[in-house]
Amino acid sequence: YSYIQQQGHRSSMAMENCDSWTHCLVKPPSPVSYDKDQKSKSAVNNANSAVGRTEIVPVQIKQVKGEDKGKGKGKNIGGKVAIISYEEAVFRCCLEAESSPGDDEEMDSIWDINANRSSKLSSAQAVQVAPEIIRIDRHSSSDVDDSNESTRAHFHRLHYPIDLPLSFYTQKWKGHSKQSLKTARNVFSDNSLLINLPPFLDLLTQQLLAPFFLFQLLCVLLWCLDEYWYYALFTLFTLVLFECTMSHSRLKNLQRLRETLRPPFGVWVYRNEKSWKVVSSKELVAGDIISLSAAHSINAGENDAGTRIPADLLLLKGNAVINEAMLTGESVPQMKESIEVVASALYHDNTSQEACLDIEDSTYKRAVIFGGTVLVNHSQSTSGSNSDDGDDQNVSENSIASQIPSSPDDGCLALVLRTGFDTQQGSLLRTMIHTSTKSQSDGVNTKDTFMFIVILLLCAVFSSIYVLKHGWADPTRNRFKLVLHVIIIITSVVPPELPMELSLAVTSSLADLIRRCAVYCTEPFRIPLAGMVDTCCFDKTGTLTSDEMVMRGVRLPVKSSTGVHMSAALVTSGSDEEDETNCTPHEVTRILVGCQSLAPVTYGHGNRNLLNDTSSLIGDPLEKAVLNCVGWKLLSNDTIAPPDPLTSGHLKPVQIFHRFAFTSKLKRMTVIAQDLGGGKEVYALSKGAPEALKALMDPTSIPDSYDSVSNYHMGLGQRVLSLGYKKMTNPSSKLWLKEGRQSVETNLIFAGFLVLDCPLKPDSKKVIKELRNSGHHTVMITGDAIQTAAEVARQVGIIKAKGTVDTFELRETMESQKTPQSDARFVFVPIASNDNEVSSEKCIAYSQSNLSVLKEMLHTSSIAAICVTGDTLTKIALDAVRRKKNKLSTDQSFIDPKTVLLHPDSQSTLQTLVPLISVFARHAPRQKEAVIAAFNGAGRITMMCGDGTNDVGALKMSHCGISIISVPEVEAKQRNAINGLLNLQKEDKGKKSKKKRKREKTKSSKKSWEENVRALAEAEDELNNVALGDASVASPFTSRATSIKCTKDVLQRGRCTLVTMMQIYKILGVNCLVNALVLSNLHLEGAKQGDHQLTVVGLVVAGLFFFVTKGQPLNKLSPERPPSTVLCAQVLVSISVQFAIHFCCIMAITSISKCYLDPFDPSLVPDGHFNPNTLNSATFIMTVLTTVNTFLVNYRGRPFMEDLRENTTMVRALQVCYAVLFTAALEVFPPLNDIIQLSPLPQNGEVMTNLIVSSAFHDLADSIGFKTALTSLMIIDTIMTYLAEKILIKLFQKLSTVQRITGALSVWGILK
């Protein structure tokens, strides 16, 4: 027996007799949490949890032998290891009593380490939540002693070298030796993504042995024993057909996934510290050093040329251009640099311990190449390797990369980190392979659904007790049939067709998203979750705005006798030959063209032509826009030349020696460069956030208006970067690598502000407006400056500014920066104010008591919105954790700023603050993830929309993450074509002369229209051909559309699916109660149903359920929210009222029918055979009518989906049902009554004297006639249930509105 530990990444159990295991039971983790009352801990831990199927898997006990190099020579590693495989993931358990929890000496001996592994759990492993593993044993859990942790064994994932110290990769590991290679092959599986295609019969058998199908089979058997053969066989046929369809669908999905994989290919590998040799990519193991080259391309498709990466790799030497569209949905290729270059870009603290690799950190991701991506281009040397001696200046003498000889294919060196299904690509494939088995949650709260079925089960139990009590007292009753009937009553609570109904609702929405919205979903159970979303979060660049940047110019510093001040106008020209009044100095131009990380797009070698077009470059769109504006050309990765070197005068080409890459933490980038042919001067060129670079600059070069100028441009929604440079006193590259960037980025000379515009996407404002009108809370989470983010938020409508209402920012006070432990450290101040200009009257101190005041001020529009930066949020989290530790007098140990935002103590604080904030600026990827976690912990249902690179953590943390592709060139073409068409329309309307309009339209205007329409069609075609891979590992949803309209599509389809599921459960609830009535009370009265009748009802119900799932969402989102649980008051009251009306009408027709019965009719005996009579026929018509009415009444329609009259197939089906029922009730077509086993209905004057029946029903039946009474009750039941449901809907709508108003008034009264 085992339990899940608090960390959630491994399972543990008592070690006693573990080596005798043969099989174990694997229980998957809990599905995604979306309870309204969820706590912060569940929000953080369960948001990424996968769901799967409980399985019994074999256990392999393996004897371990080897030599432990890390603990002394000659010491053997002995013992046993238990190994299991669950959904292509391998778990190991070391069965040694002296082992520490999670240790695996055989694996760790490969890397020759002891305790060098990172002390914190790698986030890459943390998200792979391990299942619970239980031994199949006859002993109870009480026999297991959990008190001694040292005697417990721990199952854990394979330990890949993904979290070791950086020195391991750069100075220690030289590739596999013979012994380590042998051990690695024993531990790690082959590097293959083998998708087995099981036979159809095996898949079908697996489906038929599922617990729910066995329950369905039991129900069929019970109906057979009750002599309902046709109905039982029909039900069995539909069930088997459904399972066959599911099995065939799974097989087709596996075949499609298998076709996307490429066969193994040859890779150059360096092993045994000797030489290079070619091995199959299938034989790679973790720790191999391989060569990556784009020369040998494997064409994966029309738009996917390049070398497919065989595994997750760490780049040791060289540069690589990688297309990550298959995994992230990001169509723009990414530049990868060696781990040494990335490590040198970190700001080292001499007092801290050595940094460890973290492949989920955005900084280290620049050196990680994930399997399944495509190598577009590569360079064997790093930046600036064109030195005199030909060596790479950026590789230290002690590095492994410098000691390994060059590969025969001149590729860049990389270390294999993970292989097979443990790679990023393997994780995506595992999600897709097991998506059908992972849909344990139907999108509605599982706990509430279970309680709902329990309530129905209790009703059935009471009915069965009533039947059993009356039947057992009757000595003439058959005990076997009595017990059988009682079991049928209980099992009727869950109809056999329930899985088909729920599956139809989800699969219909899934197909509609793909077909109509170009949105692909890897986790279908999240579609109904989208219907509950109340908070929509958006990234800015590439999501709300285009990735395409437009350079506006540079604001230059001007020296005068009074000091340094800023120029009044922007300078836009990069050349100083034509217009000297509008040009940038050469020092500024050098920064603009040199401080970048662009690379040419070439496949293989020999294509190093001069690049005149920035469309042939890959990298940051900002840097491409700058290079395009100044007109310089990229000769190679490291050399940039002026437009015309012969006529450019003193302008010289710039060569880059080394790059200190941009990091989200430091918010800046620096390069070491030199003018070619211009002397030996070497310069440090920097650009970054104004606040980040200001502290690194020479104070004498900073103008007094530094902050005000940068804030002015950011207040216009523009992107502002500060530029700085200095002349290096020591040009030695070895010194740069040794001392790091902190020795370079000091005493920089301020060179100006680079100003760029990022245009909004055409429909961003429209979509945000509709989301806000529908009651969704919209927020922006971005890495841009807070003023820029706030202005863009105003433009799109996230911030609703009215008149002179201020937008506030949460800041740290100047005094608290000097005394960090002081109270009132943070205040809310107007965003446009400087720290020295803020008056106390406009400040609001940050405290828990003031948050309710701020909430009311936001509600009454006293303030427009609240913004906060990532640094401020981190400081608030640190402050909350420290206060909690001080209160509890616990250990004041070091608190990691990377993980503090996800700390339970900080999350409890953030959960009250985050819902009030509209703009989260300067947020790193981990901070974005923490913000989403805080929203989740506050009870919000979140949707995150962003790109698949920087927003991966936030996309996975949200309940519904949508990754959209970003193609700046295509977006620009699409936007220009739309603007051209709009301009032509305006010109047409502005022309007064009809003849002139006609003449111009036939000539130039007609041509312009055709050109713009053609350009728009080409842009759409290019967008559809983007090699996205249909789905990404970044998020559950991936959109081919470049706009945020996909969020609206997902929300609409989610609401439609959620409402459909609620309809199914309401129909289920009413029908179960009616069935319990028919099978209990009416059965004792002698009413029965024939075999043909049940079969016909089964056909009708199956068809109506199918038509219910065909409802389409509306084009406009409604402010009203659909019920998110089946246990809400609206659903329960509706079911109760509908059943009460049905009960009265059924019992009334039952009492009237008794007037026409012979009390001594043998067919009225409960155990007797079915024989059509007046009671059977009348109750059958009435119960079928109530079943049809449940579909009519519970079809919700607007405002969440199309109305019933718009669902034409459903309307036609209901019309046919009502026509048949009333035809049968009025006996218009007698053969129809014969087909469905109905007896001739009594005519007027045929009333028989029955003393059991009251005189009231006797007189009613005699006065109006039986047919009139039956049809009247049918009409009454239909009208009453329909009106009752509509009244309840209106009532609960008004109640929710009143609650919102009275709640606001009560808060306002407290404040007054």
**C-alpha closest to that of 693 among 670, 719, 722, 720:** 722
Element (H, E) at 704: none
Strands 535-538 and 55-58: unpaired
Catalytic residue among 539, 638, 675, 784: 539
End-to-end Cα separation, the chain, in angstroms? 59
Show the DSSP H helices in 609-667 as ranges. Answer: 621-630
Contact by Cβ (8 Å): 576, 1000: no
Chain position carrying tokens 């020999």:
606
**CA of residue 1254 relative to chain centroid, distance:** 64
Question: Do the Cβ atoms of 780 and 540 come closer than 8 Å?
Answer: yes
Q: Output the six-digit token pair for 522.
A: 């890897």
> 72's torsion region: left (phi>0), alpha (psi -120 to 50) or beta?
left
Answer whether 1242's CB lies under 8 Å from 1156's CB.
yes
Q: Distances in Å between the alpha carbon of 1275 and those of 237, 1152, 1195?
A: 35, 16, 18
Tokens encoding 757: 């515009």
For the chain, helix, strand, coil in percent to 5 are 45, 15, 40
Distances (CA, A) of 669 to 341, 687, 927: 12, 6, 20
Helix (H), strand (E), coil (C) string for 733-784: HHHHHHHCHHHCCCCEEEEEEEEEECCECCCHHHHHHHHHHCCCEEEEECCC
Task: Write a three-state SS string for 344-381.
Answer: HCCCCCCCCCCCECCCCCCCHHHHEECCCCEEEEEECC
Q: How far apart (Å, rounded) are the C-alpha atoms in residues 458 and 452?
A: 10
Report the C-alpha gap between 1312 and 1299 in whole angstroms.
20
How far is CA 98 from each of CA 14, 62, 297, rounded to the nearest angstrom?
A: 14, 18, 50
> What is the length of the chain?
1312
CA atoms 356, 359, 361, 362: torsion sign: positive
What is the Cα Rg of the chain in Å? 36
Give just the sign of the alpha carbon dihedral 847, 853, 859, 861: negative
**Separation in Å, CA 971 to CA 323, 377, 552, 764, 1048:** 19, 24, 20, 13, 20
539 is catalytic: yes
Phi/psi of residue 43, nearest 5 degrees: -65, -35
Calculate ∠ Cα 407-410-380, nearest 5°. 110
**What is the CB neighbour count within 10 angstroms for residue 985?**
11
Burial (CB count within 10 angstroms: exposed 0-12, middle 13-18, buried 19+), residue 912: middle
Instruction: Give the C-alpha separation, 561 to 732, whole Å.
Output: 37
Q: What is the DSSP letter of 1240?
A: P
> CB–CB of 420/189 below 8 Å?
yes
How many angstroms separate the CA atoms of 670 and 688, rounded? 9
Q: Which residues are catalytic?
A: 539
